[in-house]
Structure 1
Amino acid sequence: MREKLESALIVAVYARYSDDSQSPMSIQDQIRRVLEHARRLGIEPVKVLKFTDEDMSGYKKRDAYARPGFNGLLESWDAGAFDVLLVDEFSRLGRNPRQLLEIVERLDDTRVRLICADGLDSAAPGSRLAINFKGIIAQEESRSTSHRVKRGMVGQLTRGFMMSPPSFGYRAERQFEGGRAIGTHWHVIEEEAKVVRRLYEMRSKGMAFDKIARWLNDSDVETPRDGRIWRAAGVQRLLSNPIYRGEVVWKTDDVQSSAHSENGRPVMQVFERPHLRIVSDELWASAQSEKISRSGYGGGRSQYSGLIHCGHCENILSSTSKGRAFSCGSCGANRLAGDPLAPTSVPTVSVAGLNEVLSFALERVLNDERIGQVHERLREKLSQGPEGELAELRKKHDRLEKAGQHLIRLICRRDQPDPLLEEEYAKTSTELRSIERQIKVLQTTQASMSKRDLAAQLGVNPKSLIKKLLDGQLPAERLRAVLSQLFPKFIFLGRESRYIARFEIHFAPGVAVAWLTETKPVIDECVVLRIKLIGSARRPVRWEVVEEVAEVGTPMCPPGNCHVACVPDATAETVLS
């Protein structure tokens, strides 16, 4: 009878499988193998503690430290609850470098013996070298596997297949070849596509995500993936999905990929899916605008929420004094934190003063002379035909391309990631791809712009916009959405004295005639106004608005991608409250 080498030992067994492509029975197979291997070594445990994790990765840091079975093993290890740890192979404990190092340190600090069914034994001479070597191999295997999987997924996307469950508005269809599944295609479900278009229209008109979710629930629209109810966060994710404009965006985070930028940071790969387009680029972009509300959720009862930028720090002004004024919360926070660049007092402007500025600006940019200029530009567009439109698009393309290259240079110079610059670059890239698609369509079909739209814009009087905006009939969220398009920039520059404030406003006349006729804007120029607002010292306050500078013909920033050009005023104090 074989002599027992070990007796009266408590043994812990850890088993794991990493994804749903592996059989759950592999857990039982691992436990059976390690116990048989222990018996061959003469270990007859008096007690076996079992710890398992199913469908859990051991490589990614977030997943590696979120394994309940492994965390239970560590707790028992710290409590001294076992003498021997059995695993099928060392990589089952994990593939994360930091976690494997912690395991080696535990083996050094405790008397626990690690035995693997593949022959590794921490009690054997030279075991530490073998453990470290196996850990390095496990990490490299995970990297290689991840690289192969991602390369295969990119290959499928390149061949026109889809790699995820279908989003709302689509259905999936598996494609077979020789009886073998080779990929999945999506197809538009027209009934759901109508709902998607309605959602984008709601959001572009300023409706909050939670109100859209309530409309979906009240309309008994079924949620994707069998959810119980629609929620604001789900609506936000849906509306930000680029598939609805006919694109699949793949984030490359694999260090072995050649798609990385020079600074080694992840870049986006875009795969065109024109047959899956449900909304236009313009409608998709308008639903992404952060100017619809400061939070992006559509809240706020003021038409100015999310519209006005601070001339000192470039952040958005927030409502204060129970909605009667707007001030810069960022400047206030910086001043309290002792920032030497922060203003001595937080710049504030009253809503009553903003109303005067808005009314004056609309009157000035929609006078007879400028309306005549708008109509002249529309007639030029109409007479130029597709060749003129193509030339305009190429100019815009060159301008956006230069802006994108400038942003890339700025990003590459940063030692740390800059989310704001990266967001601006993403927006510029989106607009650039939209322009490239429009150029391609014109070059292929030589289709002219809609004469009906141009005729409609020529036939409208932009002065009627003033009444529609200021008569108090539009809901705040709708008015806010319109103002964000009419005024790509609305900057509170600061003050000259206690009762004098200065503003810089960019107005898009092409948006005005397009909004009145519910057509697409064809004039991408801005009128730039610099305005001085003067309030009386006595109450009730009497207002006087003076136009300092007016510039016409400035190229308009793309929607949602406006770069604020501010004039800092370090002496700004509370203004016109």
Structure 2
Amino acid sequence: MTQLAIYARYSCDKQNETSLEDQIRRCTELAQRHGLSISKDLIYTDAAVSGTDKGDALREGYRRLRQDWDNGKFDVLVVDEFSRLSRDGVEQAVLQKRLEKSRRVRLITADGVDTQDPDWQLRLGFQGLIAQQESRKLSYRVDRGMVGQLERGYMIAPPAFGYRLQRIFDGNQNHIGSHWVIDEENASIVRQVFDKRAKGESMHKIAAWLNQKNVACSRKGRDGQEAHWRPARVKNMLENAIYKGIFVWRGSSTYAKKMKELGDEVQSVEYPRPELRLVSDEVWTRCNNRSVSRSGYGGGQHALTGVLTCGCCGATLAVSAVKRCRSLYCPVCSDARSSLGATDRLTSTIAVAGVQFMLIQALERFISGPFLHAFRQSLRQRLTSDNSAEIEECAARVKKLKNAQERLSCMLADADAEGDDETLQKRYKETRQQVIASQQQLAKLQAGAQVLDTATVEAQLQVDPRKLLSKLFDANVAPHELRTILARLFPMVVFEGKEGRYFSKFRVRFAPGVALGMASGTSCLTQQEVEARFTLQYIPLNKKEKPGYWVVQALEQPLPTPEAIQQQEECLEPA
């Protein structure tokens, strides 16, 4: 007796589930016209799974179909369309080769393919090409629709941790889009995570803290069960730009990996969503700064771990174990000299106590009267600037461009029925780029207006940053917190080497805006940095009652004027 099998599939979870019933009904009617009977055990289905290569791993019904095919459980396979089996060109070729080699199994489709016909390969090939092209066009239209929703102010993805989905309907109760809304309970946890990381806490400890609090993970595990927090998942949260009010289209690591495999460039687009901001730009950037740890995840048990770099190879200096004297050294240069015999490497060590003394002296010089006066003069000049008129003009331009884009989008939707209009598509793309550029400019202007907060400027003008000296290397401050303070105050500390046993040279870069912000408990107003070189010398006395001491001297560097500081800030602004 001839055994008949049926396969049915629909590709999207937004499609109607009755699609499977309709396909099976058509296949049943086709089988009856050929005088074939059906066994319910040989009906295979896959729901809401793509027919492309990326969806094959999720197609349980398709895997059982091929397994039973190999085991000879059926003689005839009926499908509604060949594309139901696969839309991938490679898999279609494998299926055709299987049908040619295994003449025992007959394929019949409701749209006219029968492998008993002499020209079935030609028909199947044409239908396969059409299915592949339709898959490409569908992908293009889906991307175009998602970009359109983003540019209209809606969101297109499941909400990130800290938000919930809010569906938007028109007057006829038709779903027209979705917004993300801040979920205050989870948003509070997000802010705590950023606060912990900003203070230097490792991602391993943050993940353990989340698990101890029984915080539900943002995603399910691979087995579909409740997952627990891992350092990598915490890292993904911290890197998500939505928490600083920006949604990045095609900004995921999965998309970046795909583009790398294709040898193509990542073309991501930023969409401002200021209403979704949970942390400031300063905190977000600080949490994603690798200067506080070599791996980007942690850590280290000492406050100077990851703070200094080697002036020879640029590697991060490591802290030696406690023996007679704890010191800093470059492991890369030391390894190159011992294993490769390199003689031009920096293998000198420097005592931790000496580095701590040098950084305290460097901070005292950077916050001295003349320099602090010049920097405060630049802050006073910023108080006189006002960009409210420019913000209003830019907002009006964004509104006008979005209205034009909306009209072009409607015209494109009407043109789909008659075929693609290249001229209309070109105008739509140009308008879309103008909208994106104007939105980014508006966000930049608004961020600048927030930075020029009068109360913040006044607080930084009055605070005495010398209070930071008491916090450096305070025994009551945890190492990870002290490491974060050092990394923020000194974005770069380079050990240039030694001239003799007790004479060392350093190049130090200092962030005055960070210092005033930390001292006043306000946000940093400028990313401007200044640099100077210092020498560190140890004076041994060889007397038990009078131990040796350290001496720090600064190589003369001209102090910046207010005009020079303002000019450097303008150069640092993104184009």
**Please, what TM-score do these two structures have when normalized by structure 2?**
0.71
**1 CA distance for matches of 2:338 and 2:66?**
45
Q: Work out whether 1:188 is the aligned partner of 2:182.
A: yes
CA RMSD, 1 decimal: 4.5
Residues 97-153 of structure 1, C-alpha deviations (whole Å, 9 max, x = no match):
222222223233333433222221233222222222211111111121122222222
Residues 63-96 of structure 1, C-alpha deviations (whole Å, 9 max, x = no match):
2244233233334444555444332211111112
Q: Work out whether 1:202 is the aligned partner of 2:200.
A: no
Equivalent of 1:363 in 361, 364, 389: 361
Q: Which residue of 2 aligns with 1:62?
A: 54
* Equivalences for residues 50-89 of structure 1 within 5 A: 50-59=43-52, 61-79=53-71, 82-89=74-81
CA contact (8 A) 1:367 1:463 kept: no
Q: Which residue of 2 aligns with 1:105?
A: 97
The number of residue pairs the alignment matches comes to 496
* Equivalences for residues 141-540 of structure 1 within 5 A: 141-177=134-170, 178-190=172-184, 192-216=186-210, 231-251=230-250, 265-311=265-311, 314-317=314-317, 350=349, 353-367=351-365, 370-387=368-385, 437=443, 439-440=445-446, 449-492=452-495, 503-531=506-534
> Structure 1 pair 106/213, CA: closer, same or farther in 2 (3 Å)?
same
Shift of residue 336, structure 1, vs aligned partner: 11
> Is the partner of 2:268 in helix, strand or coil?
strand
**2 CA distance for matches of 1:102 and 1:90?**
13
**2 CA distance for matches of 1:283 and 1:91?**
50
**2 CA distance for matches of 1:12 and 1:22?**
24
Q: Which residue of 1 aligns with 2:26?
A: 33
**2 CA distance for matches of 1:135 and 1:89?**
10
Q: Work out whether 1:119 is the aligned partner of 2:122.
A: no
Q: Which amino acid aligns with 1:239?
A: L
**2 CA distance for matches of 1:363 and 1:369?**
10
**2 CA distance for matches of 1:278 and 1:316?**
32
CA contact (8 A) 2:348 2:498 kept: no
CA contact (8 A) 1:527 1:550 kept: no
Q: Which amino acid aligns with 2:273?
A: R
**1 CA distance for matches of 2:138 and 2:111?**
21
Q: Which residue of 1 aligns with 2:83?
A: 91
**1 CA distance for matches of 2:2 and 2:34?**
13
> Structure 1 pair 110/224, CA: closer, same or farther in 2 (3 Å)?
closer
CA contact (8 A) 1:307 1:490 kept: yes
> Structure 1 pair 471/93, CA: closer, same or farther in 2 (3 Å)?
same
> Structure 1 pair 130/203, CA: closer, same or farther in 2 (3 Å)?
same
Compare the two structures and name the one with the higher strand fraction. 1
> Structure 1 pair 125/486, CA: closer, same or farther in 2 (3 Å)?
same
**2 CA distance for matches of 1:533 and 1:104?**
76
Q: Which amino acid aligns with 2:290?
A: E
Shift of residue 310, structure 1, vs aligned partner: 4.6
**1 CA distance for matches of 2:107 and 2:526?**
73
> Structure 1 pair 115/202, CA: closer, same or farther in 2 (3 Å)?
same
Q: Which structure would you say has the larger RCO, counting Cα contacts within 8 Å and 6 or more residues apart?
A: 1
CA contact (8 A) 2:312 2:496 kept: yes
Gaps (5+ residues) in structure 2? 221-225, 253-258, 389-437
Q: Work out whether 1:13 is the aligned partner of 2:6.
A: yes
Q: Which amino acid aligns with 1:34?
A: C
Shift of residue 363, structure 1, vs aligned partner: 0.5
**Please, what TM-score do these two structures have when normalized by structure 1?**
0.71
> Structure 1 pair 356/75, CA: closer, same or farther in 2 (3 Å)?
farther
**2 CA distance for matches of 1:535 and 1:240?**
43
Moved more, 121-130 or 495-504: 495-504
Moved more, 94-103 or 369-378: 369-378
**2 CA distance for matches of 1:105 and 1:318?**
60
Residues 270-302 of structure 1, C-alpha deviations (whole Å, 9 max, x = no match):
222222223222122222222333333333212
> Structure 1 pair 504/51, CA: closer, same or farther in 2 (3 Å)?
farther
Q: Which residue of 2 aligns with 1:406?
A: none
> Structure 1 pair 328/376, CA: closer, same or farther in 2 (3 Å)?
closer
CA contact (8 A) 1:487 1:505 kept: yes
Moved more, 275-284 or 488-497: 488-497
**1 CA distance for matches of 2:92 and 2:31?**
22
**2 CA distance for matches of 1:47 and 1:220?**
45
